[in-house]
Structure 1
């Protein structure tokens, strides 16, 4: 039997003790809430995820290419991929291809998890087995406030140093980009969190109990999936650590998704407004300090709010109830007080559907005890 734990409870979490009693599982250990889990299942899940994602990507690529040719003409693919050395991410077609191809990780991972477990499927989202939408909404509001203050302060510093601010210059296809920023970018962020903070953290947690391993081991995979210079990669690594710590500390992906969504939406919005170059691979220590400061502040505010509101951070797993041994009453007469056959050595059955009858004859070799389910 599995239930939600009291939030922010004191005491040891999932100490691995063989002693009977409930286990309080943090997010990265939720695989152990499923009695059918096995150590090798994450490897099978990875193979299935890769296969599903490959198929979905191929189908999407064909549909996207056909749509591009239909809208822009026969030379469209050559213009997009061969005309320049780099893809223009602010081209609406390229933007959609890059971001939606990552969204496809959601159905691929969910299909793999549905086959291999653990169950329920919602354990990939939080300790409650579902997406906590109210908590997600509060995290989004906090992230928006923190990023508004952070970028507002940066603009004030820019104005103080330069005496002017960069005027917005919306790129071509601006409104198409706005629609995709609103509809596709949040799904892309959720997909990356499901994989890097969901699947990977819970995979490490199946094998290693300490959360520090589940938080830090996926960081290089997330970091080097981005093409930036050293400062940019450090900023991505800081975000990965903060998101992983928040996932463990709040018992789910909601805070990490909110942080990722607001970060990416603002970055792509600035690109669509011509205020930044989203294709740039160079960064600076100033950008690193600004982004790290906003993310740490966001984490502190979210954890403080979660503690105050009693957000669930563990899942209580009770051990299976063992059979109860009861001493059989002496037989009273032919049928006795317990009915026919309810004498010493008789097995008392609870009835259908567990067994076709309500009693049976003596169990061979049994002592004067009865097993009751």
Structure 2
């Protein structure tokens, strides 16, 4: 009598499980792209960021002080220590110290993110996990055009009102300042956006779903880091809101970085040419209205550019397949199957389970625990 083994038998391998639904995450919720996400990770990231930045700032401060004394003599440091309130921002040495010390936030934050996640680290920059250079370049060009027109209009209004304009008076060390405005100021602006619109938006987004909280809650921290009067602080707060909204609306930091870079570059250029006083802490409602108008026009155009260029504003994340008993994993569903199936055999003796297509599409052929193989006559 011929004995044949049945092509299938009892065993757990044929049980289907539903596949987890993918999640669509906006920028402020990108921390949830990390399967190891925990509510306390932003706090650990903040502590690491602070520690790394403190170390870098101390090293930079020592190197800067030694260099300053080597060039200007020991009395230069004495003047700074004894009368810090008399510092002039447009002094090239002071300018470099103030602006480059903020650039150090970039490596400090990236190192903290590398330890705590989520990965890739580029999720701090955009939903694509990288800096979208083409979008950034377009936003920079648009921002420069808007600010050039805005400040030209302000100068023409001043000319019409007072009948004269102040002549340019380049400050001492003008060319050193120009080099730093081109090389250091953009990095300083990007560093502040990485912290205040990157880290803080995503930290709040770990805990609160609605974007309005992620946009607005970091605003006071950014605003009161500047020493201005009420009008000046309102202008800073308005830019923080616009930059936060742009970050959420465009899915990345590019538009916010462009806005911040253009704003700071134009302001420092005017100071280098002697057309404004960067040390001034007083402002007016006219300056607030001008900056707000320029930023609103920029935001509108940046969003239109993002839409026309097909810039991604969300990231689709497929959660990891859940663990199953016995050290097994899920298999990808085959065509015609109802979903993921057991992908590894259960150790031990037993009969054969469904051998797969065409007999049973989507299942895995393997040994399963259970009674001895069935015998057919």
- Using the size of structure 1 for normalisation, the TM-score is 0.84
**Counterpart position of 1:354:** none
Which position in structure 1 is the counterpart of 2:236?
236
Is residue 351–residue 369 contact of structure 2 (8 Å, CA) maintained in 1?
no
Q: Work out whether residues 352 and 366 of structure 2, in 8 Å CA contact, stay in contact via their aligned partners in 1.
A: no
1:15-26 → structure 2 map (5 Å cutoff): 20-26=20-26
Report Cα offsets for 1:309-338 as digits up to 9, x if no partner.
11100001123346243799xxxxxxxxxx
Distance change >3 Å, CA 326–CA 269, structure 1 → 2: closer
Are 2:197 and 1:197 equivalent residues in the alignment?
yes
**Structure 1: distance between partners of 2:371 and 2:273:** 83
Q: Does 1:169 align with 2:169?
A: yes
- Which structure exhibits the higher relative contact order, with contacts defined as CA atoms closer than 8 Å and separated by 6 or more residues? 2
What's 1:343 paired with? 351
**What secondary structure sits across from 2:85 in the alignment?**
coil
2:369 counterpart residue number: 363
Q: Is the 8 A contact 2:132 2:254 kept in 1?
A: yes
Instruction: State how far apart, in whole Å, the 2-side matches of 1:115 and 1:128 are.
Output: 20
Q: CA 1:346–1:304 in 2, change beyond 3 Å: closer, same or farther?
A: closer
Report the Cα offset of residue 85 of structure 1: 3.4
Quickly say closer, same or farther: Cα 1:175–1:212, change in 2 above 3 A: same
In structure 1, the partner of 2:341 is: 325
| CA shift for structure 1 position 84 | 6.5
1:316–1:139 CA distance, 2 compared to 1 (3 A): same
Alignment of 1:86-165 (within 5 A): 86-165=86-165
Q: Please name the residue that 2:333 is paired with.
A: none
Structure 2: unaligned runs, 5 residues or longer: 1-17, 323-329, 331-339, 357-364
Partner of 1:41: 41
Q: Which residue of 1 aligns with 2:313?
A: 313
* CA-CA distance at 1:280 after TM superposition: 0.4
CA contact (8 A) 1:342 1:359 kept: no
How many residues get paired? 330
The match for 2:225 is 225
Q: With structure 2 as the length reference, what TM-score do the two structures score?
A: 0.83
Comparing 277-286 with 84-93, greater Cα deviation is found at 84-93
Match of 1:63 in 2: 63
CA distance in 2, matches of 1:224, 1:237: 9
1:6 paired residue number = none
Contact 2:350 2:371 in 1 (8 A): no
1:253-303 per-residue CA deviation (whole Å, 9 max, x = no partner) reads: 000000000000010111111100000000000000000000010000110
Q: Quote the residue 2:72 is aligned against.
A: 72
Contact in 2 for aligned 1:347/1:363 (Cα 8 Å): no
Counterpart of 2:327 in structure 1 is none
Q: Secondary structure at the match of 1:232?
A: helix
CA displacement, residues 47-67 of structure 1 (integer Å, 9 cap, x when unaligned)? 000000000000000000000
> 1:81 touches 1:87 (CA, 8 Å); kept in 2?
no
Tell me the distance in 2 between the aligned counterparts of 1:134 and 1:325.
43
- The alpha-carbon deviation at position 83 of structure 1 amounts to 4.9
Kept after mapping to 1: 8 A contact 2:28/2:211: yes
**Structure 1: how far apart are the matches of 2:50 and 2:96?**
21
Which protein is bigger by CA-based radius of gyration?
Answer: 2
Q: Which moved more, 1:73-82 or 1:201-210?
A: 73-82
